[in-house]
Amino acid sequence: MKKIILFILLCLFIFSSCVNKNTSNENKEISKNSNLQEKEFVIPIPIDLSSLSAGVDSSSVTKQVLRNINEGIYKYNSNNELILAVAENIEKTDFNDIIIYLKKDIKFHNGKEMLADDVIYSFKRMAGLNKELDKVLENAWAKLLNSNDGGEESNIVKIDDYSLKIHLNNEFLKESASNLENLLADVFIVPNNVSEKEQSLNPIGLGAYKFKKRNLGESISLERFEDYYGEKPDIKNVKFKIYSDNNSKLIAFQSGDINYIDVNKTNIDIIRGLSLDIIEKPSQDVRQIWLNHRIKPFDDIRVRKALNYAIDKKELINIANGGKGYILDTGLSNYNIYYNENLNNKFDYNPDMAKKLLMEAGYENGLSFKYSIVTENALSVDMAVVIKEQLKKVGINMEIEALTWNDYYDRIYKKHVFEATELQIFAYPDAYRMLKRYMSNVSSNLAGYTNSDFDKMMVDAGRELNESKRKEYFEKAQQILLDDAISVFLFDQSNMIALSEGYYNINIYPFAYIDVSSIKVKR
């Protein structure tokens, strides 16, 4: 018996010794004495990265991490404006040609100086001209470098070590002229003397952070690049750690094991309870109800308008998204630089008007339709319930159909077989990319919307290199979308982030990027 008791005590002793009794003391010591700049800043990510090589994996998580390691010719500042990054100047010599002048003494993470050869190599790599990679990473670059009218790779030529000339061929200009700056921002510059295999295991870029270590399936560690050409970040070491479970992520944040968390409807009260500031900015994503114009009743503009009047967007935001979000009137966020601030005839909540329009359209006894959503998207599910109740008030019976993403993609996104559906359009600063999905000949035009005026406006905007004229085209295009009540544009659900004690500020962008360099340490 004694032996058994002794044995149990021994087991308990072993176990209790394994529990880290000193953690709390260590933490206190760290917060008191150690510099937060030196401490590793831990950011949770939901899944592991498919590839560390620049541009190879297009998933948003990969971009969130790799934008810290890589940079392009342009980048975005905290106001979401494009600014020159590693280029000193860009000169447009004529309609078809641009010359990029590079900054001098800019170093890659491996110590090599960035030269024009590296930039040319990076562009060709995107266009699928790197034999080792053998993949077209960006179609626009493939068009630019492989077209028939410009003479293959000669469309991009080196002038000297710090300048290069790009000849924009007509095929490229037809679609991507206005998008050139964004395309230049999206091409990460990599050194031409590092193999693709090496890049995928130990990526080398020009960014503020350099790759340190990867524990497959667990974490990716970066460290501050001391020779970075721009402003040096406050945080020295950063770790992107995989947390697939939201509850564990919250517990880890509460215990101080991670320093960054996305705030949402489910965790906002707990985060507020920790007395931490919540940084909030519009996500610029567009949440909207797509109505299928190819079929009844949505081929009738009066029905589409009725739906727009029947939905109380403010109430929708309050109930479905905990009061956080920005009402949208058109296919572009109010915070996009091309947003039309003078939109006329907006649809304010007016159930009487909705009823009147339905009556005019011949639906005085109400109407029914099927509303398809992606079941994995929790916010979509919550929104559907609220919208169903709101529409009931004007005599519309909405049947909710929840589909898995794969089914949704096949039937709705690809084949356009649906009546009405809610789909989140992820933000991008380029208005052309956001609005081109409503053009008649585009496969992602779910609604089947056709309007030659809108198409013309977009084609003109795409070709236009003059900034103010381009803005004018985009503004007109937005007004057309509103006038035709093409969809019910709902809201931008906003981005909210909390940082652990001792840290403040982070720049939030309308695309996938956790900008660690913008996080500041309180002193």
Partner 1 sequence: MYVLKKISLCIFTMFVISIFLFIMLNLIPTDPVISKLGIERINENPRLAQKVYEEFELDKPVIKRYVNWAKKVFLDFDFGKSFTYDDYDVSYLIFSRLKYTLILSLYSFLLTVLLGITFGILIAKFDKTIIGNILNIFTQFGLSLPNFWVAILLLSFFGIKLKMASTHVEIIENDIIKTLKSFTLPVLTLVIGQTAIVSRYLKVALLDEKNKYYVMVAKSKGLTDSELMKKHILKNALMPVITIMGLIFISTLTGSIVIENVFSIPGIGTLLINAIKNSDYPLIQGIVFYYSFIVVFSSFILDIMYMIIDPRIRS
Which of 77, 255, 345, 368 is the binder for partner 1 (CB under 8 A)? Answer: 255
Residue 66: which of 74, 76, 57, 75 has the closest Cα? 57
Which of 105, 216, 342, 452 is the binder for partner 1 (CB under 8 A)? Answer: 216
In the complex, least distance from residue 4 CB atom to partner 1, rounded to whole angstroms: 6
In the complex, least distance from residue 99 CB atom to partner 1, rounded to whole angstroms: 27
**Is residue 18 a contact residue for partner 1 (CB under 8 A)?**
yes
Q: How far is CA 370 from the centre of its chain?
A: 29
**Is residue 21 a contact residue for partner 1 (CB under 8 A)?**
yes
Torsion of CA 349, 352, 356, 358, to 10 degrees: 60
**Is residue 269 a contact residue for partner 1 (CB under 8 A)?**
no
Which position has the token pair 């919307």? 449
**Is residue 274 a contact residue for partner 1 (CB under 8 A)?**
no
**Which stretch, 71-79, 93-101, 209-217, 342-350, contacts partner 1 (CB under 8 A)?**
209-217
Nearer to partner 1, 35 or 195 (CB): 195
Which of 88, 245, 299, 348 is the binder for partner 1 (CB under 8 A)? Answer: 245
In the complex, least distance from residue 41 CB atom to partner 1, rounded to whole angstroms: 15
**Is residue 396 a contact residue for partner 1 (CB under 8 A)?**
no
Count of beta carbons in the 10 Å neighbourhood of residue 230 = 15
Beta strands in 375-413 (DSSP E): 396-403
Which of 36, 41, 43, 53 is the binder for partner 1 (CB under 8 A)? Answer: 53
Nearer to partner 1, 230 or 448 (CB): 448
**Is residue 174 a contact residue for partner 1 (CB under 8 A)?**
no
Nearer to partner 1, 251 or 379 (CB): 251
Which token pair is 300?
């009738």
Phi, psi of 102 (to 5 degrees): -90, 150
In the complex, least distance from residue 499 CB atom to partner 1, rounded to whole angstroms: 18
**Is residue 237 a contact residue for partner 1 (CB under 8 A)?**
no
74, 148, 260 from 332: Cα distances, Å: 22, 35, 29
**Which stretch, 16-24, 30-38, 347-355, 356-364, contacts partner 1 (CB under 8 A)?**
16-24
In the complex, least distance from residue 88 CB atom to partner 1, rounded to whole angstroms: 31
Residue 168: which of 90, 115, 116, 71 has the closest Cα? 90
Q: Quick one: the chain helix, strand, coil %, rounded to 5?
A: 35, 20, 45
Which of 36, 54, 56, 263 is the binder for partner 1 (CB under 8 A)? Answer: 56
* 425 within 8 A of 289, measured Cβ to Cβ: no
* 523 within 8 A of 300, measured Cβ to Cβ: no
Helical H runs in 187-245?
Answer: 196-201
Cβ-Cβ contacts under 8 Å for 361 (sequence gap 6 or more) = 297, 300, 302, 303, 306
CA atoms in the 13 A half-sphere facing the CB of 162: 11
**Is residue 242 a contact residue for partner 1 (CB under 8 A)?**
yes
CA–CA gap between residue 310 and residue 231 (Å, rounded): 50
The footprint of partner 1 on this chain (CB under 8 A) covers a number of residues equal to 56
Which token pair is 427?
């933000």
**Which stretch, 31-39, 57-65, 286-294, 390-398, contacts partner 1 (CB under 8 A)?**
57-65
**Is residue 29 a contact residue for partner 1 (CB under 8 A)?**
no
Q: Is 450 exposed, middle or buried (0-12, 13-18, 19+ CB in 10 A)?
A: middle
Nearer to partner 1, 369 or 432 (CB): 432
**Is residue 131 a contact residue for partner 1 (CB under 8 A)?**
no
Phi, psi of 328 (to 5 degrees): -115, 145
Q: Decide: helix, strand or coil at residue 24.
A: helix
Q: Which residues bind partner 1 (CB under 8 A)?
A: 4, 7-8, 11, 15, 18-21, 23-24, 27, 47-48, 50-51, 53, 56-59, 128, 134-139, 142, 197, 200-201, 215-218, 241-245, 247-248, 251-252, 254-257, 406-407, 409-410, 413, 443-444
